[in-house]
Amino acid sequence: MTSETITADAAGTWTLGDLTVNRIGFGAMRLTGSAAFHFGTPSDRQRSIAVLRRAVELGVNHIDTAAFYFSSLRSANEIINSALSPYSDDLVIAAKVGPFRDYTGEWGTSARPEDLRGHVEENLRQLGRDHLDLVYLRRMRQDSVAEHFGALAELRDKGLIRHLGISDVEPRHLAEAQAIAPVVSVQNRFGLDSRNRVTDDMVRICGEQGIAFVPFFAIAGDAGAEGATTAHDEAVLAVARAHDATPAQVRLAWTLAQGPHVLAIPGTGNPDHLAENIAAGTLRLTDDELDILNSLHQKAG
């Protein structure tokens, strides 16, 4: 499928609180290099800046990032700042806090509630902003999110954060957070071949409540942070051939077909892949194709 002139609005829009975004956004993790969380070969900085600027030119107005997205010599937030500041009024930047890494790149233990202001302020410093549009609390295996989410709600009240989301959660955590402050978005791992019944429930519940659901690793599948999967079921390949599309585009199209509240944040440091990801917003799967792909997803559970 031709991708050069397709823009992100082709997939439609959704509203995060009072912020309207195109349903295909951009995940910043891969801007730092192929080994996003390791100290391997860093990305080409100018190429990453060019990819970000091209994404915005193609209508992307929702970027997902984090202060802990860094590798040797590269910081995703610094690249975003260099590429896009001063930021346009319609650009929504979402960050996540909870996990953290020290200056050597080693992962620390889960943040305490009193640590979260420092994490938010670090994102603000790196991005060069005075507030964050959306901040996710990434649950780090704790049973309750109330204390941590409450700390973020206080920062929202102080004007450092505009809207709140939660990540890696179950329905009970959503209810717990909503008792404290509004939740505009949920971010869990979700994809065609990475099924989790709890997350399937989250997709449904978010749709019923008008909350955005933003999956991560929708293309990568089981490969996760290592990058896009190269393992594709024959059914995925067949659908791709029928639409003259790539398997990654089919995976994105299936993700978006799960509901108008489902957004996508595919990340890449490759300008060709960027255009292909955005073009996936025009791919309309037939009912028969959706049935086949839904069956694959059910089998993955």
Residues classed as catalytic: 69
Q: Taking the C-alpha atoms of 216, 217, 222 and 228 in order, what is their torsion angle to the nearest 10 degrees?
A: -170
Q: Taking the C-alpha atoms of 80, 83, 86 and 87 in order, what is their torsion angle to the nearest 10 degrees?
A: -60
Q: Taking the C-alpha atoms of 29, 32, 37 and 42 in order, what is their torsion angle to the nearest 10 degrees?
A: 160
What phi and psi, each to the nearest 5 degrees, are found at residue 20? Answer: -90, 130
Q: Which two structure tokens, joined as six digits, stand for 45?
A: 């900085």
Question: Tokens 């929708």 map to which residue?
Answer: 218
Residues 6 or more apart whose CB falls under 8 angstroms from that of 60 comprise 8, 22, 24, 25, 26, 278
Question: How far apart are alpha carbons 301 and 196 in whole angstroms?
Answer: 6
- Quickly list H helices, the chain: 45-57, 76-84, 116-127, 146-157, 171-178, 197-209, 234-242, 247-256, 271-279, 287-300
